[in-house]
């Protein structure tokens, strides 16, 4: 036996070739195991995401009655809460993206009476940014109702600067002037208004100021 | 010092020596079948099987056993030509040598055989009969018709050889004995008996069941292939025993060595 070394080498090659399917099998087994682990992990993650999402939907649903219960005409309400779409979203802990996916009824800017001075400041700040007359008119009305006629005049004037065609704003301005004792000035403003918009309501108000029965 | 594997290797040198004959269940059955057939008044007996299934050693064995009882002659290798064959046959039949510079008259030989009927019964064992040409086979057939000479024809089993048997001897062959490769169990016994016959008990015990399965898979139960494989296995063992004993376990032959032997003999490939 003189060819033992080549024979040994040949056997080494044979042996490694024979074991190759076994190695491939183990590698496949590891790949399958890793793939299953990955899928299992993702499944749990997906489940938690879905659960979280459902919880958020639940929160939104809980919040909805609260926003609906706020009535703009409810004068008995003691709290003045500025309820906006943004506020509802914040309270519901729902992100902007979630809102897009959840068909939530649009909540308009509702203004409700409140004694909270901070809320007035927020509305005033917002008006400075947006110049939304709903905000300025709200403030004018609110201050008027609180007999803060100076501030009522200011916000009525701000409203008129944006839109001079709003009757309510002019009436708050004129009435507040009259309440502060500036009847002549109030009458002059009102007469000019009547010349431009001859409304019955404006004439009635003029009559009341002149007679001093306001 | 002589390696223990040297004797083991020698035990598997391929030969048809009756001394190396190992009695297995299958070989005993084949022997008895052939012996029984020879006793029948048959003209021809066909013994066939794949190479290495033990046809030659069976013929040797039966000749060795019956030579003192019957006129039985074994033609191990086919003669180079027809002249030599009939020369040999002439000597068996007439018990005389053919005079120099003479040839056998076949017609006269047939007549001679016919005259021997009921006087002598001569059995001729023709090994490797596939090597006889068709003309010689035809003459053998004519001789067998005399009923004084009985032929046992040993053939390799191939489609072509089956054709020879069918075409030339279809009507005259009364008995067909087929030898097959051995089972795993018989091969196990064969290997063990071979080693134990040489008193190689330790070596015999170092070949385990799992090795036998492997050997049987490689050799498909063929005696000649088994001898070749075992010879090569012990040759490799002998090398390691003498040069690198750390590579060998004397109680349990490493599978690596069996596979190396199989690679060397071409049973498996890289």
Between B238, B263, B269, which is nearest A7 by CB?
B263
Window from A4-13, B27-36, B169-178 with minimum mean pLDDT: B169-178
Asked if pLDDT for residue B238 goes beyond 90, the answer is yes
CB B208 within 8 A of CB B174: no
Q: pLDDT category, A152, cuts 50, 70, 90?
A: very high
Asked if pLDDT for residue B172 goes beyond 70, the answer is no
What residue spans define the domains of chain B?
Answer: 4-18+182-265, 25-179
Between B235, B239, B259, which is nearest A14 by CB?
B259
The pLDDT of B197-202, averaged and rounded, is 92
Quick one: tokens of B225? 């292939």
Look up the ipTM and state it: 0.77
User: Mean of the per-residue pLDDT values for chain B?
Assistant: 88
More confident site: A66 or B23 = B23
The pLDDT of A122-146, averaged and rounded, is 90
Asked if pLDDT for residue A166 goes beyond 80, the answer is yes
Contact B260 A8 (CB under 8 A): yes
Between B238, B264, B268, which is nearest A7 by CB?
B264
Q: Which domains does chain A have, with CATH numbers?
A: 1-114 (no CATH), 116-208 (1.25.40.10)
What letter does residue B47 receive in the DSSP assignment?
E
**CATH architecture, range B25-179:** 3-Layer(aba) Sandwich (3.40)
Asked if pLDDT for residue B34 goes beyond 90, the answer is yes
Contact B236 A8 (CB under 8 A): no
If you measure CA to CA, which chain B residue comes closest to A11? B260
Q: pLDDT category, A214, cuts 50, 70, 90?
A: confident
More confident site: A89 or B233 = B233
Helix (H) or strand (E) holding A111: strand A110-111
Asked if pLDDT for residue A59 goes beyond 80, the answer is no
CB B124 within 8 A of CB B150: yes
What is the C-alpha radius of gyration for chain A, rounded to an integer number of angstroms? 37
Return the pLDDT at B125.
95
Q: How far is CA A130 from the centre of its chain?
A: 15
Return the pLDDT at A72.
41
The pLDDT of B161-188, averaged and rounded, is 75
Return the pLDDT at A115.
53
The span from the CA of B238 to the CA of B248, in Å, is 10
Per DSSP, which regions of chain B are E strands? 44-49, 71-75, 122-126, 149-156, 173-179
Return the pLDDT at B169.
61
Asked if pLDDT for residue A111 goes beyond 50, the answer is no
The pLDDT of B53-77, averaged and rounded, is 92
CB B142 within 8 A of CB B110: yes
Q: What is the pLDDT of residues B91-150, one digit of tens each?
A: 999 998 888 888 889 999 999 998 988 888 899 999 988 888 888 888 898 898 888 899
Quick one: tokens of A8? 């040994």
- Proportion of chain B above pLDDT 90, given as a percent: 51
Give the side-chain half-sphere CA count within 13 A for A116.
14
Count of pairs with CB atoms under 8 A, one residue in A, one in B: 29
- Choose the mutation target among A5, A9, A11 for the interface with B, i.e. most B CBs under 10 Å: A11
Angle between helices B134-144 and B159-169 (to 10 degrees): 40
Return the pLDDT at B158.
65
Asked if pLDDT for residue A104 goes beyond 70, the answer is no
Residues of B in contact with A4 (CB under 8 A): 236, 239, 243
Cα of A33 to nearest chain B Cα, Å: 32
The pLDDT of B44-63, averaged and rounded, is 90
Return the pLDDT at B214.
95
- Choose the mutation target among B218, B237, B263 for the interface with A, i.e. most A CBs under 10 Å: B263
Return the pLDDT at B112.
92
Residue B23: name the closest of B147, B194, B200 by CA: B194
What letter does residue A202 receive in the DSSP assignment?
H
The span from the CA of A45 to the CA of A43, in Å, is 5
Window from A81-90, A115-124, A153-162, B64-73 with minimum mean pLDDT: A81-90
């Amino acid at each position: 036996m003189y060819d033992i070394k080549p024979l040994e080498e040949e056997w080494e090659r044979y042996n490694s070739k024979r074991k190759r399917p076994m190695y491939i099998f183990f590698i496949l087994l590891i790949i399958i195991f890793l793939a299953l682990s990955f899928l299992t992990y993702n499944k749990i993650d997906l489940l938690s995401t879905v659960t979280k999402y459902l919880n958020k939907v639940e929160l939104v649903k809980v919040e909805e009655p609260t926003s609906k219960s706020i009535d703009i005409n409810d004068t008995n309400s003691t709290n003045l809460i500025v309820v906006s779409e943004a506020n509802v979203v914040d309270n519901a802990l729902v992100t902007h993206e979630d809102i897009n996916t959840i068909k939530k009824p649009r909540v308009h800017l509702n203004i409700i009476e409140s004694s909270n001075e901070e809320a007035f400041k927020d509305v005033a700040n917002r008006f400075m940014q947006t110049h939304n007359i709903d905000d300025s008119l709200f403030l004018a009305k609110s201050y008027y109702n609180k007999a803060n006629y100076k501030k009522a005049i200011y916000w009525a004037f701000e409203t008129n600067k944006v839109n001079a065609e709003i009757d309510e704003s002019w009436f708050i301005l004129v009435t507040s002037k009259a309440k502060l004792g500036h009847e002549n000035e109030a009458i002059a403003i009102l007469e000019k208004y009547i010349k431009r918009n001859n409304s019955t309501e404006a004439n009635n108000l003029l009559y009341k100021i002149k007679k001093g029965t306001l | 010092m002589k390696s223990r594997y040297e004797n083991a290797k020698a035990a598997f040198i391929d030969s048809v020596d009756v001394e190396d004959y190992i009695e297995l269940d299958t070989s005993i059955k084949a022997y008895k079948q052939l012996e029984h057939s020879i006793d029948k008044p048959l003209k021809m007996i066909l013994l066939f099987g794949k190479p290495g299934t033990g046809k030659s050693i069976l013929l040797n064995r039966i000749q060795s056993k019956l030579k003192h009882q019957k006129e039985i002659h074994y033609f191990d290798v086919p003669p180079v030509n027809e002249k030599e064959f009939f020369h040999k046959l002439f000597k068996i039949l007439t018990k005389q040598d053919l005079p120099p510079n003479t040839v056998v008259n076949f017609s006269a030989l047939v007549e001679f055989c016919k005259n021997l009927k009921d006087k002598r019964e001569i059995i001729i064992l023709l090994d490797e009969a596939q090597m006889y040409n068709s003309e010689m086979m035809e003459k053998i057939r004519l001789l067998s018709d005399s009923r004084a000479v009985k032929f046992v024809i040993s053939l390799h089993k191939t489609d072509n050889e089956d054709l020879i048997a069918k075409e030339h001897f279809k009507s005259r062959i009364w008995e067909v004995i087929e030898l097959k490769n051995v089972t795993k169990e018989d091969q196990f016994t064969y290997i063990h008996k071979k080693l134990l016959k040489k008193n190689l008990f330790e070596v015999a015990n170092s070949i385990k069941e799992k090795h036998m399965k492997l050997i049987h898979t490689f050799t498909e139960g063929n005696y000649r292939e088994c001898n070749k494989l075992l010879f090569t296995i012990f040759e490799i063992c002998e090398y390691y025993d003498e040069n690198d004993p750390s590579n060998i376990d004397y109680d349990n032959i490493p599978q690596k060595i069996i596979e190396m032997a199989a690679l060397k003999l071409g049973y498996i490939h890289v």
